Amino acid sequence: MSAERWKDDEALLESLRKGAPGAVDELLRLYQGKIFNLAMSILKNESDAEEAAQDVFMTVIRKTDTFQGNSAFYSWIYRICVNTCLMRLRGKRRNETVSIEEFMPVFTDEGMHASPMDDWSKEVERDALNEELGQMIRRFTEELSEKYRVVFVLSDVEGLSNEETAKILGLTVPAIKSRLHRARLYLREQLSRYLLEGKAG
Amino acid sequence: MLADYIDGSMDPRLREELDAHLAKCEPCMAFTKTFRTTCEGTRKLREAIAYAIPDEVSERLEAFVRTAALKYPEKMREYRDQVERDRREKVADLVSAATAGNLSSAAALLMESHCAACPECREYFDAVRTTGASRADDPPAGIRSHLIALMQALPPGEELFLA
């Protein structure tokens, strides 16, 4: 994470604690987009995500006094958000998700790829790195179970390191690596199907 | 293993072997390339992948958080005031029960042993008994803290007053 962000966070935390005017605005400016994205990616529902975001900011404001500072401020906020959303999700489990196993590469006994393998990397780099593909990727991740989705969002969308993601989710770094890797394999497979067959899996 | 290969953390010897295999094996090469493109594409498309917060959601959220943040210190103060009021009431009840002889046997015992050891409280209760109940409403701070400690010393499950 950049030094810039560290400094912003330090100053923000200090002004929140003092109840300085504008501190809450600054908190909102820096974090509402990130919190909404994270909440949406877990809850997949706009009004749930909105309520969760309200809860997250209230918790942050209430607890800045007792925040110990033994983790970074932003990772503390993310953790509050993850916990808030998972609690909500537990209340109403209704998500149907795909089985990630269906999207893992399959090998023959000789160790060869069992299904034909086309190289579409050039086409993507040339033409398709656009907003539409981004939205496609988001749609694919929505079909994943949240244990993979949360890791993917924190690492690949929010750009946190594996160590930071591990701390936020209370998991080990190898566990994060493995989930992230499977999520990426899944995405590769989904993109293949999408780009080669012109339809989503 | 593939993850280590892509992010460059793979053992160099193993990497060499894998490179040699990839050069010969078209499907594996295609797989690796498309996997890498997936990872890099994701990074480049981060903003498009993220859920953008809709303007109206953002406005509502900001309004909610700002008002709640303003009210929060006020709420805390109200809460503390309420706790303080409840406590005063309880102390006043205790004093009047003690002077009227309405304490439970457990509480009476505590009160007796405390007053035996604490001249301050003894004097206070003597004064209340002789001058009437009006002084029971608000004992001095020192006495108050003794009485609060006394109530807290009551074993759990024991009643303070006679039924």
B53 in reach of chain A (CB within 8 A)? yes
Q: pLDDT at position A3, please?
A: 53
Whether B82 shows a pLDDT value over 90: the answer reads no
Nearest Cα to A140, choosing from A191, A179, A175, A199? A191
What pLDDT, in 10s, does the model give residues A12-52?
A: 888 888 877 788 999 999 999 999 999 999 998 999 999 99
Higher-confidence residue: A128 or A199?
A: A128
* Interface probe, candidates B2, B24, B38, B66, chain A, greatest A C-beta count within 10 A: B38
Q: Which residue of B has its CA nearest to A28?
A: B62
Higher-confidence residue: B137 or A103?
A: A103
> How far apart are alpha carbons A24 and A19 in whole angstroms?
8
Q: Is the ipTM of this complex over 0.90?
A: no
Residues forming a β-bridge with B103: B161
**Contact check, Cβ <8 Å, A57/B61:** yes
Break chain A into its structural domains and give their ranges: 3-91, 100-197
Q: Which residue of A has its CA nearest to B35?
A: A188
Break chain B into its structural domains and give their ranges: 2-49, 83-153
Amino acid at B116: A
Instruction: Give me the CATH code for the A100-197 domain, please.
Output: 1.10.10.10
Minimal Cβ distance to A121: which of B33, B49, B57: B33
Q: pLDDT at position A96, please?
A: 67
What pLDDT, in 10s, does the model give residues B23-70?
A: 888 888 888 889 988 998 898 898 889 999 999 999 999 999 998 888
Whether B112 shows a pLDDT value over 50: the answer reads yes
Q: pLDDT at position B114, please?
A: 93
Minimal Cβ distance to A134: which of B37, B49, B62: B49
Minimal Cβ distance to A131: which of B35, B48, B58: B48
Instruction: Give me the CATH code for the A3-91 domain, please.
Output: 1.10.1740.10
* Interface probe, candidates A77, A156, A163, A189, chain B, greatest B C-beta count within 10 A: A156
Amino acid at B79: Y
Contact between residue A189 and residue A103 where contact means Cβ atoms under 8 Å apart: yes
Radius of gyration of chain B (CA): 37
A187 in reach of chain B (CB within 8 A)? yes
> How far apart are alpha carbons B5 and B15 in whole angstroms?
7
Whether A117 shows a pLDDT value over 80: the answer reads yes
Q: pLDDT at position A93, please?
A: 62
Using DSSP's 3-state secondary structure scheme, residue B161 falls into strand
Cα B35–A162–B58 angle (5° rounding)? 90
Q: pLDDT at position B135, please?
A: 52
